[in-house]
Amino acid sequence: MELNFNETFIIEVFRKFDFLRKLEYNTSFVSIYGRDPCILFENKSLKRKIHISWEGDLILLIERTKKINIKNQDSIIVMSNYYKYYNINFSSLSLKEKIYQNAELLKSKFLLVLEGKAWIEDLIK
């Protein structure tokens, strides 16, 4: 039996984003049979969530769930808004390549955000 798109997506995300477990992110939500597949990883002690879904294209969000009182700081990072800072163009990549490249981008450029040591404003100056 062959896997459908949603099943393939979920499996690939778990494979490529396995490094999040070492950072103490747990899977708090998985949707495979809805309209769009989605996985939510959460680190409650750091008050961070990682949303990964497919809505016609790969959507990757990092959310800071801790309330902050700093003006002009968003609580959600939409990763696609920051590809330009790293000269990345994912438009021609396959599903597996997009998942892999986004995982590598998080590991290499956004690790401080995932560890709760920085936020996007600290990385992009």
Most confident of the following: 32-41, 61-70, 81-90: 32-41
Q: What is the pLDDT of residues 41-77, one digit of tens each?
A: 999 999 999 999 999 899 999 998 876 555 556 788 8
Instruction: Give the range of the structural domain holding residue 69, as residue numbers without chain letter.
Output: 5-123
Q: What is the pLDDT of residues 107-122, one digit of tens each?
A: 999 999 999 998 887 7
Mean pLDDT score, 26-30: 96
The total of structural domains in the chain comes to 1
Question: What pTM, to 2 d.p., does this model score?
Answer: 0.89
Residue 8: CB atoms within 10 Å: 16
Q: Which helix (H) or strand (E) holds 2?
A: none
Backbone torsions φ then ψ of 50, nearest 5 degrees: -120, 115
